[in-house]
Amino acid sequence: MNVKQLAAEKAVEYVQDGMKVGLGTGSTAYYAINKIGERVKDGLRITAVATSQASEDQARALGIPLVAFGDIDRLDLTIDGADELDGKLQLIKGGGGALLREKIVAMGSGRMIVIADENKAVDTLGKFPLPVEIVPFAWEWTVAALAKLGCKPELRRSGEELYRTDNGNYIADCHFGAIESAPELAASLQRIPGVVEHGLFIGIASLAIIGKKDGSIEIVEAE
């Protein structure tokens, strides 16, 4: 079993009958959704909300009952991956481009469990470029404002085209290097009008399940 699968399948043990569950996006969340699908086939009764078209398609194919997030009040649990996580369970997310929906869903959940392989665990966030979702209108101004925060922003591409999120927006991948204060950076990003959302998840994940190459699992609880 690979390490992503190891972490993902452990996290699915936290899913209980009757729960409303948020389904993350990415190659680690993929394994969690597969495992939830297996458990649904074995009789687990849950309803789920997907954070991307890809996760929705996967869940539908596995027979996981889906609802629109707008049609329910709250989720019990969301299981999602991350691009980086630190010891305070601050995350960088959005490598897969789904950060906006992922943040809406995670913040509407009683609990978020982050699943990752050990390479994602870092002392200081920022080696992974921070994804920032921006509106296409006057994106040049928004990118210039991002650069003033001390990063090198790069508009994400998909082949010849600019990458579009499921919400029709662009992603600027911002190379900051070491992020000394994630909360301060988050506040600065939120002040830029063209920024829809950024990939810093602070105070959202309450548990991390980290799969290791030696086959063990580390569980980190937020303070």
> Which residues in this chain contact ligand 5RP in the complex, by CB under 6 A?
24-29, 80-83, 93-99, 102
Q: Count of CB atoms within 10 A of residue 103's CB?
A: 23
Rg (CA), the chain: 17
Cβ-based nearer residue to ligand 5RP, 42 or 169: 169
Cβ-based nearer residue to ligand 5RP, 1 or 138: 1
DSSP string, 25-47: -SHHHHHHHHHHHHHHHTT---E
Q: Is 161 part of the annotated catalytic residue set? A: no
Cβ-based nearer residue to ligand 5RP, 24 or 153: 24
| Rounded Cα gap, residues 100 and 124, in angstroms | 23
| Rounded Cα gap, residues 130 and 153, in angstroms | 9
Smallest distance, ligand 5RP to C-beta of residue 17, A: 26
Smallest distance, ligand 5RP to C-beta of residue 116, A: 7
Cβ-based nearer residue to ligand 5RP, 98 or 138: 98
Cβ-based nearer residue to ligand 5RP, 144 or 203: 203
Which two tokens mark 30?
A: 């993929």
Smallest distance, ligand 5RP to C-beta of residue 80, A: 5
Q: Please pick, among 9, 84, 102, 133, the residue that the annotation labels catalytic.
A: 102
User: Quick check: 216 and 117 in contact, CB under 8 A?
Assistant: no
Smallest distance, ligand 5RP to C-beta of residue 148, A: 25
The maximal CA–CA distance of the chain, rounded, in angstroms, is 53
Angle of CA points 99, 164, 28, to nearest 5°: 40
| Rounded Cα gap, residues 195 and 141, in angstroms | 11
Query: 215: left (phi > 0), else alpha (psi -120 to 50), else beta?
Result: left
Smallest distance, ligand 5RP to C-beta of residue 140, A: 24
Quickly tell me which residue has 């943040």 as its tokens: 103
Catalytic residues: 102
